[in-house]
Chain A
Amino acid sequence: DQQVKQNSPSLSVQEGRISILNCDYTNSMFDYFLWYKKYPAEGPTFLISISSIKDKNEDGRFTVFLNKSAKHLSLHIVPSQPGDSAVYFCAASDKAAGNKLTFGGGTRVLVKP
């Protein structure tokens, strides 16, 4: 199932700098997008979401951008902190079809002090 794809399996960034995570999707029916963060031995933790009627949503250090024409979204983390080191998952849903989330494969972020 390649409907949601995160092409970068890993990302390394210096503390204080910006982390940019990318996600592409193919299903044009998706209308709600979420980013989750996952530490080892824990479940995914909700970070931030965006509806398809918006192109940007910001929450503290986290900003999600949506480009519907390109079927692309990105997560910006500024400034990056060592505690941000985790696996980040992009997920999408089509609300009209229920609340099933389709996940990307994840990007492992390492923030170096």
Chain B
Amino acid sequence: EPEVTQTPSHQVTQMGQEVILRCVPISNHLYFYWYRQILGQKVEFLVSFYNNEISEKSEIFDDQFSVERPDGSNFTLKIRSTKLEDSAMYFCASSEGYEKLFFGSGTQLSVL
């Protein structure tokens, strides 16, 4: 069964450093998303991406965050200058349309 792939599975970084989280969505999907889950909290929406542009973003997704689909297969989330509170599990997801989302296994980001 096709799946969403995320790399790395774990990322440790120093506060203030830039990180790039990578995702390969399911190949025929058109919609791409990033969600995150801070330990002990709900899974929360960050951003959705369609037709090479952001279609929706949450208030969490400020100027420190950016997304890109650089080559037609990868979908990346960049955090420009990480803060302690960015520590979370980040999930990439994709969907064919406006229905079920398929999630990757996540990247555990730890900001020290």
Q: Is the CB of B99 within 8 A of A44?
A: no
Which residue from A49, A98, A104 sits with its C-beta under 8 Å from B99?
A49
Task: Tell me the smallest distance from the CB of A71 to a CB of chain B, in Å.
Answer: 18
- Which candidate, B14-22, B38-46, B69-77, B79-87, is the interface stretch facing chain A? B38-46
Which residue from A43, A97, A98, A100 sits with its C-beta under 8 Å from B105?
A43
Q: Is the CB of B48 within 8 A of A43?
A: no
With a CB–CB cut-off of 8 A, which chain B residues contact A41?
Answer: 105-106
With a CB–CB cut-off of 8 A, which chain A residues contact B41?
Answer: 105
With a CB–CB cut-off of 8 A, which chain B residues contact A44?
Answer: 43, 91, 103
Q: Mark A44-88, 1 if CB is under 8 A from B, else 0.
A: 111001000000000000000000000000000000000000000
Given contacts A42-B105, A43-B103, A43-B105, whether A101 and B98 have CB atoms under 8 Å apart is no
Task: Tell me the smallest distance from the CB of B90 to a CB of chain A, in Å.
Answer: 10
Q: Is the CB of A103 within 8 A of B55?
A: no
Report the bound CA distance from A113 to B58 in whole Å. Answer: 42
Q: Which residues of B contact A (CB under 8 A)?
A: 4, 6, 31, 33, 35, 41-45, 48, 55-56, 58, 91, 93, 95, 98-106
